[in-house]
């Protein structure tokens, strides 16, 4: 419990989706771009990638704001064969990623790190959401890609928008996780440090 004002809270992200989600908690916070290279290391498993990037983002911003609590997060999508899908970045790549998702159950791993310099171990967790995609034809994939920009989303789709029509089902313990920030577990972590 804080006897004075709580320390600043910083979201280490430029994601508008994460910013919108964190606003739901009605806590004052700011956003700082974490300037982290998100390139996957050779042979790095998907879970390790998501955890490493969430922690790296939080640590990068914590070095600039040592007095604040920092939230870092990252999400990767994993195909049943172990293939990893990140942000497509281009229309062509978005179409390719959705073709790979067609008829598959894709696991979305959303890692979060909450840390403050000088504090004991960071609070870290990973949420796994499984999305069963319908069998998708090329034409409907192109229609979706042209109708809803999801170039900055893992696997190139948004469940909170038209992308929901691409799915047969979504299995999740926290519906906000798929959008990019699992608020149920994050709320618990924030309470554990006094918010």
Place of tokens 């280490």: 12
The answer to whether residue 37 is catalytic is no
Please provide the CATH number assigned to the domain covering 9-192: 3.90.950.10
- Indicate if the pLDDT at residue 49 is higher than 60: yes
Instruction: Kindly report the pTM of this predicted structure.
Output: 0.93
For residue range 102-115, list pLDDT tens digits in order: 999 999 999 999 99
**Residue of 74, 81, 119, 174 with catalytic role:** 74
The domain locations on the chain are: 9-192
H helix intervals, 65-130:
91-101
For residue range 2-18, list pLDDT tens digits in order: 556 678 999 999 999 99
């Amino acid at each position: 419990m804080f006897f004075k004002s709580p320390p600043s809270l910083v979201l280490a992200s430029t994601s508008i989706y994460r910013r919108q989600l964190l606003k739901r908690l009605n806590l004052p916070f700011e956003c700082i771009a974490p300037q982290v290279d998100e390139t996957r290391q050779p042979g790095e498993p998907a879970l390790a990638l998501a955890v490493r990037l969430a922690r790296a983002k939080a640590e990068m911003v914590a070095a600039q704001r040592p007095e604040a609590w920092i939230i870092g997060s990252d999400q990767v999508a994993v195909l049943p064969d172990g293939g990893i899908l990140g942000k497509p970045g281009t229309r062509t790549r978005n179409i390719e990623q959705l073709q790979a998702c067609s008829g598959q159950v894709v696991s979305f791993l959303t890692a979060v790190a909450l840390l403050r310099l000088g504090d004991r171990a960071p609070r870290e967790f990973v949420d796994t959401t499984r999305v069963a995609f319908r069998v998708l034809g090329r034409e409907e994939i192109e229609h979706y890609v042209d109708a809803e920009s999801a170039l900055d989303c893992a696997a190139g789709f948004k469940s909170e928008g038209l992308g929901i029509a691409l799915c047969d089902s979504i299995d999740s313990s926290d519906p906000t996780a798929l959008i990019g920030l699992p608020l149920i577990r994050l709320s618990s972590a924030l309470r554990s440090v006094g918010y």
